Amino acid sequence: MPPATPPAESSAAPETATGAAPASLAGREYEVEIGPVAHGGHCVARTEEGRVLFVRHALPGERVVARVTEGHEDSRFLRADAVEILDAAKDRVEAPCPFAGPGRCGGCDWQHAAPGAQRRLKAAVLAEQLQRLAGLTAEEAGWDGTVEPAPGDKVPRGEVPAWRTRVQYAVDASGRAGLRRHRSHEIEVIDRCLIAAPGVSELGVEKRAWPQTASVEAVAATGSNDRQVLITPRPDGRLPLVELDRPVSVMRVEEPRGRNGERTVHRVHGRPYVRERAAERTWRIGAGGFWQVHPQAADLLVRTVMTGLTPHKGDMALDLYCGAGLFAGALADRVGEKGAVLGVEASKRAVEDARHNLADCDRVRIEHGTVERVLPRTGITEADIVVLDPPRSGAGKKTVRQIAALGPRRVAYVACDPAALARDLAYFRAEGYVPHFTKAFDLFPMTHHMECVAILKPVEKGA
C-alpha cells in the first residue's frame, strides 16, 4: 500500500542515465478505481500497470477518469485530478462553489463530498496516521473514531458553512482578487468565497481592483466589529487607496520577511490590531498575528483542554507555543493566586500581545523564544500540567523529551496536523506518556484540515 501522505517531491524532472529528463506524464489520462482517502485532500488509486496516483476531486469507491497534473516517467507517484466520474459514490454532491473543481481554486478539497462524508474521510485519515506513525488504534488513543462538527456547522447536503474569519486573497497582474489554484502560483479570480465568514464577505474585497498589489488578507474578528485588511504591494508598487464596503483598518505588509521570519507590518490607518473574544476575555491580536480561524474554535479548544487537564489551585502550568496567551489565560483563572503559568512563544509580536492580554495576571510570565531553547534556561525542573499547541510541523523529539522530563500529571497536545500529532505521540510514548483521551474537530469544513486535542498521562507503573 502506498504511503498515506505523499512524500515531498520536486516538480523538476530528474535526469536519466543518458542525461535526458524523463518524459512528463502531465495530461495523460487513466481510467481507475479510487481507493482509500489519503492525508492531503486526495485519494489513492493505481493504474493497471501498478503506478500510484494521488487523485483529487474523487471519493473512495468511485470509478473515474484521472488526468495527471504532476509527474514523470520516473516519478515514485503521480498527482492527478478526477476529470470524469464514471461511477459516483453515494456521498458525492455537486460542488456548491462555482470556482471548485479540477484546475480551479485550491482553497477547498472536499466541496464534492456531503458534509458528513467529509468528517468520515477526516476520521479515516486520523485513524491511519495514528496507526502508521504512532502504532495506536483508536481505542488506544482514547478516541471514539469521529470528527465532530463545530457548534452551528451542521449543514444540509449541498450547503457550505461560512466559517473562515481570515482569508488571504492573491491578486493577479490586472489587479483582480482571487485564490491560488492547487499547488500552483496561478490565480483563480473569484467574486465570492463561500467559506468566508460574513464579516469577511461584507468587506467586498473581490469586488474592487487592487493595482500594484500582490495579496490582500481580510480579517473579521469574532466578538467585536473589528475588520482589517493587510495589503502586500508588488515590488516597488504603491499602496492602493482602500475603499471597502465596511469600516476597516489598513496595514501595509513588507516583503521579504524580517530576520525572525515575521512579516514587517506598518499601520496605514485604524487600529494595528483586532479584538477577539474567547474564554471570557477580550484578546488583542496584532496585525497578521495568529488566531484560530474558525469563530467557534478558541472556546471549543479551551473547553476541551481544560476538561482534560483538570487544573488544580496552586498548579505550576506551562503553555508552550502560547501565541497571544489563550490557554495561559484560561490556566491562570484556574490555578489561582498560589499557582503559576509560564508561556513560551517564538513570535515577538505574539509575545507583546500575550503580555498585554494577561497584564492583570500577576502569576503569568511570558517568555520569548523557541520552546526547546527557553525551557532549559527557565530553571523550571517540574510542572503539574502542560499545554502545547505547536505549528503544523509538530513539536519534535527534543521538545517532547524536555516536557516529559518535567513530570507533568497531564499534557494537552493541540494539533492541526494528524501526521505531526501521531509522530509526537510516538515520541511521548517512548518517554512514558500515553493518550488518556483524544478528540477531533472539523474546524476547517470543505478542506482536508482538522484540529485534534490529545490529553496525555504517564504510563501507570507495572503497566
Residue-wise pLDDT for 69-105, tens only, equals 999 999 999 999 999 999 999 999 999 999 999 999 9
Cell readout for 195 is 467559506
For residue 176, the one-letter residue type is R
Cell readout for 275 is 479584538
**Residue from 88, 83, 87, 120 nearest 104 by CA:** 83
Cell readout for 81 is 485530478
**Cα–Cα dist 240/253, whole Å:** 13
pLDDT at 167 (0 to 100): 98
pLDDT at 152 over 90: no
Model-level pTM?
A: 0.93
pLDDT at 47 over 90: yes
> What pLDDT, in 10s, does the model give residues 413-438?
999 999 999 999 999 999 999 999 99
Would you give the distance in Å from CA 325 to the centre of its chain?
18
If pLDDT is split at 50, 70 and 90, which confidence band does 236 have?
A: confident
pLDDT at 9 (0 to 100): 47
Asked which of 12-21, 193-202, 267-276, 305-314 is least confident by mean pLDDT, the reply is: 12-21
**Cα–Cα dist 293/19, whole Å:** 48
Do residues 4 and 41 make contact, with C-beta atoms less than 8 angstroms apart?
Answer: no
- Tell me the pLDDT of the chain averaged across its residues: 94
pLDDT at 288 (0 to 100): 84
Pairing of strands 213-220, 227-233: antiparallel
If pLDDT is split at 50, 70 and 90, which confidence band does 3 have?
A: very low
pLDDT at 1 (0 to 100): 42
pLDDT at 20 (0 to 100): 75
User: Cell 503580555, residue?
Assistant: 355
What's the rounded mean pLDDT across residues 14-19? 56
Residue 7: count other Cβ atoms within 10 Å of its Cβ. Answer: 7
Question: Which amino acids are annotated catalytic?
Answer: 416
Cis peptide before 272 (omega within 30 of 0): no
pLDDT at 263 (0 to 100): 78
**Cα–Cα dist 410/428, whole Å:** 12
β-sheet bridge partners, residue 233: 213
> What pLDDT, in 10s, does the model give residues 355-369?
999 999 999 999 999
The residue with greater pLDDT, 237 or 229, is: 229
pLDDT at 404 (0 to 100): 98
